[in-house]
Amino acid sequence: MKRIKVSNNVIRRLPRYLRKLDDLKANGVSRISSFSLGQQLGLTPSQIRQDFSCFGEFGQQGYGYNVAALRDEIASILGMNRGFKAILVGVGNIGHALMDNFCFSEWGFTLAAAFDIDPAIVGTTTNGVTVRSMDELLDYLADNQIDVAVLTVPKEAAAAVAKLLCDNGIRAIWNFTNVELTEPNSPTLVENIHFSDSLLSLGYFVAERYDEEAAHAARLERMEKAKEQ
């Protein structure tokens, strides 16, 4: 597949398309128009056609999209069929939650190993993955081709562990530490899960709603007063 530079916004929508198409497939829908897909995702049909046109021609004018075929195309664009291997570093609450509940294989990843410094955690097994000691990390990275490191160490350790990983061949980090890891223009790919950004955005929308309701109530009150006069 030839790659063209695709905007970040389009890339960020691909997983949403994938989830929706999985959902449609599970519900027995085999074909869908860009209009109907757009309606279900809160996007315009032309937005959807434009997004997909970045990667080729998937639909047929007047017939819509084949759900299964489109789903597989998007999965392939996302690299889900490449057999990516991940390791997880830091088996605290979040690390353990991911090992326990997050189905890496559903998204095309194998969680190959996990590492921690705590002797009480080293040696425990979750979902078939046994936690190794951090002492084994460098040997492990030397012996295995790993595509992504999931970074779930405490904040204080984030920068040092990230550097250790990058110095030993890791070029992509899924970062749960809420610490900005890289300088601009660093060659390491970092994808951040910023819980706080998400909560703050929600806070914005809540505040906006309260303001709108207050403004609405004030308008009603002014109208009532005007009537009384």
Q: Which is nearer to a second copy, 135 or 216 (CB)?
A: 216
Q: Considering the complex, what minimum distance in angstroms separates the CB of residue 167 from a second copy?
A: 18
Please say which residue, 63 or 205, places its beta carbon nearer to a second copy.
205
Q: How far is the CB of 196 from a second copy (least distance, A)?
A: 5
Identity of the residue, 130 or 210, whose beta carbon is nearer to a second copy in the bound complex: 210
Q: Least separation, in Å, of the C-beta of 143 and a second copy?
A: 20
DSSP the chain: -------HHHHHHHHHHHHHHHHHHHTT--EE-HHHHHHHHT--HHHHHHHHHTT---SBTTTBEEHHHHHHHHHHHTTTTS-EEEEEE--SHHHHHHHHH--GGGGTEEEEEEEES-TTTTT-EETTEEEEEGGGHHHHHHHS---EEEE-S-HHHHHHHHHHHHHTT--EEEE-SSS----TT-SSEEEE--HHHHHHHHHHHHHHHHHHHHHHHHHHHHHHHHHH-
Under the rule (CB under 8 A), what is the footprint of a second copy? 1, 3, 9, 11-12, 14-16, 18-19, 23, 39-40, 42, 77-80, 82, 84, 92-94, 96-98, 100-102, 104, 106-109, 147-148, 171-172, 174, 180, 184, 189, 191-212
**Nearest-approach distance from CB 229 to a second copy, in angstroms:** 26
